[in-house]
Amino acid sequence: MTTADAPAAEPAEQNYAAVKAGLIPLTAQERIKQEKDGLDVIHDIYRYAQLGFTQITEDDFERMKWYGVYRQKPKDSGYFMLRTKVPGGQLTGAQARKLSDLAERYGRGFCDITTRQTIQMHWLRIDDMPQIFAELAEVGVTTSGACGDDTRNVMGCPLAGVDKNEIIDATPQMWEVSRHLTNNRAFSNLPRKYKITISGCCIQCAQPDINCVGVFGVRKPDGGTGYGFKVGGGLSAAPHMAQTLPVFVRPEQVWPVTEAISIIFRDQGYRLKRSRARFKFLVADWGAERVLAEVEKILGYSLERYTDFPVVADQETDHLGVIEQKQAGLHAVGVSFAGGRVRNALLDKCGELAARYAAPGRDAVRLTNKQNLLLLNIPTENLKALLAELDAAGMVYQPSNFRRGCVSCTGIEFCNIAVAETKNRMIRMVEQLEATSGWYQGKIRIHFSGCPSSCGQHQIADIGLRGARTKLPNGQQVDAYDMFIGGRLGANRRFNELLKGKIIAADVHMAIDKLLRFYNSRKQDEGETFAQLCDRVPKAEFLTALSS
């Protein structure tokens, strides 16, 4: 056998055992986790609240992410953004009002709904953190694990338990997994961020394809209901679609299976290189069958083999407007917040309206992964008055198609790694499209990300815009966006493809208008989506339309 024919050498072990044994060089993040658990930084946060911002060490800035505390741009500004944990996006009216109150008092009067169904605040100071944490605890809200190498907010369908068409109400399983993995030092030192979604929604709106672990509802031919598992999904600079484990999982097995997967990620996940530490890379190398074999080894029993999983044509829904619940006489009302930006104490107003108009004792606010929110359990007789109050407050529940499909990350306004403005640019773009492109009445999903990290999930959008910079003829540097087209989840899932780089920010709405006119003229029938047209028509023709 020649040298060329010889098998490649096996890579050195990169897992947690290798880290603890000192067999591999440590990244900066692995070093600080070995020195002190991220969850232990809570004591330092209280200490720094007394000592001041300038006394915080670089290592503790990193550890503070375990409690959702991030430095704002610029890093030496003295200000922080804070992410909360809101499992399944489920809030009571009182919790919504408290979050709004904190944003008013400490965060310059606004907050953001994120794509992980949480609330994020800005302009916070370290000396305010103890009071903020205390008031959040009073209403049962935590920030533990909101960031860092820990389990992020566990997501679900915002209509869990009330959706007329859901396969199974996954609320008990969602809460069980969240409780077990939150503030748990057995799982607070993972290789990287860990994202889980658990939903029984019939269209899988919680996006299991792009999460580390995606638990989705399954109804068997005999009528029995339970769950399937997808593993290894994720976006960022190297996006991966999740792989499906060929098993049917009973409701009581969801936490044990999730725990086993979490153990695999913790113990076997890659730690040698930060860029390869996400669970998706381990799953890509192992494959679903090996992951399943390891899960069953940890469980000590075999799971029921199953492959007849539902095929969902379209996983996208905006959850806006008036929606009939499965509970007779009750409704959910979805309210749009472009890019998730909530100003003028409107979150407080939503909490107050939820408490006032919901059926007695059933007030509920649900945050969505499209950065909107819903008010649940509204009796038919209260709908007219509620909608009138929403109108009076300027809250939109019947938005344009442009507003319905927009998603945005934080962007350069606050984020230290973004290279372009996103949220305010997207809000402006929606207004421009509503003014100039009202002729278009179809569905379109437009997502903004400020950098390749894809916090705005631009890779799964019909039209995805990724932040860049470019130079004008006069030499001025301005914001620009790389434009991608054709992404979607569900059946025929795929990430979108780059169409054109560095479109000047001021021209984005005009470029989108041209794409929509091209789509309108070329679609085969009303049923052909924008993404399907992208499959059928060569990219060169889209580029020609852009240059017209």
- Please check whether residue 127 lies inside any domain of the structure: yes
- Please check whether residue 430 lies inside any domain of the structure: yes
What's the pLDDT at 3?
33
Domain CATH code at residue 499? 3.30.413.10
pTM of the full structure: 0.95
Boundaries of domain holding 120: 16-138
Domain boundary among 115, 138, 161: 138
What's the pLDDT at 5?
37
The tokens describing 235, both together, are 């976006």
The tokens describing 472, both together, are 């004008």
Check residue 412 and give left, alpha or beta (phi > 0: left; psi -120 to 50: alpha): alpha
Mean pLDDT (10-residue bins), the chain, 548 residues: 36 84 94 97 98 98 98 96 98 98 98 97 98 98 98 98 97 98 98 98 96 98 97 96 98 98 98 96 98 98 95 81 98 96 97 97 97 98 98 96 93 93 93 94 94 94 96 93 96 94 96 97 94 96 94
Write the DSSP string, 126-143: GGGHHHHHHHHHHTT-B-
Write the DSSP string, 212-237: SEEEEEEE-TTS-EEEEEEE--B-TT
What's the pLDDT at 16?
94
Domain boundary among 138, 172, 200: 138
- Those residues with Cβ within 8 angstroms of residue 241's Cβ, 6 or more apart along the chain or in another chain: 209, 210, 233, 493, 495
Q: How many domains does the chain have?
A: 2
Strand order across the 373-379 sheet: 90-91, 365-367, 373-379, 330-335, 321-324
- Please check whether residue 117 lies inside any domain of the structure: yes
Domain boundary among 122, 138, 154: 138
What's the pLDDT at 312?
84
- Please check whether residue 308 lies inside any domain of the structure: no
What's the pLDDT at 11?
52
- Identify the burial level of 432 via C-beta atoms within 10 angstroms of its C-beta, where 0-12 means exposed, 13-18 middle and 19 or more buried: middle
- Cα of first residue to Cα of last residue in the chain, in angstroms, is 59
Domain CATH code at residue 111? 3.90.480.20
